[in-house]
Amino acid sequence: MKKCDYCGKEITYFEQYCCEECEQKTVEYHLKAERFSKMFLIVNTICVFGIPVGLFLAAFRKYIGLPTASACCIVLGAMLIALPFPTEGMIRKHKLQKAINMSRAFGGAVIALGFAILGLLFVIQ
């Protein structure tokens, strides 16, 4: 059986979504992704490169490097929760609803990592 492109419920081969609500949520997701994709890309790039740079700087100046890496993790995690844009592979494999939830969970884990790095600053003193 074919599955709904949003929630993953089984549907007939002649349909794409199980209900109008799933279709509407999918359209809203794609409009949001189109609207915020450039901002997402810019913030994602800055934070993904800022984390290793901050950790590298921590070897020389821990009071500059660790807060930088921590801030990048927290900003990246908050962005992944606010703008959960999973990859096309995730969407194809898990369907849109589950892929969005997985992206938000990953964002929460990245925020926790940011606070762990920040906590490391106080432990090292």
pLDDT recorded at residue 85: 94
Per-residue pLDDT of the chain (125 residues; tens, 9 = 90+): 889 999 999 998 889 999 999 999 999 999 999 999 999 999 999 999 999 999 999 889 889 999 999 999 999 999 999 999 999 999 999 999 999 999 999 999 999 999 999 998 888 76
pLDDT recorded at residue 30: 95
**How distant, in Å, are the alpha carbons of 32, 57, 105 from that of 72?**
23, 13, 17
Indicate the pTM of the whole model: 0.88
pLDDT recorded at residue 62: 85
Cβ atoms of 86 and 100 closer than 8 Å? yes
Cβ atoms of 121 and 67 closer than 8 Å? yes
Contacting residues for 12 by C-beta, under 8 A, at least 6 apart: 1, 2
**How distant, in Å, are the alpha carbons of 47, 84, 109 from that of 55?**
12, 25, 18
pLDDT recorded at residue 48: 95
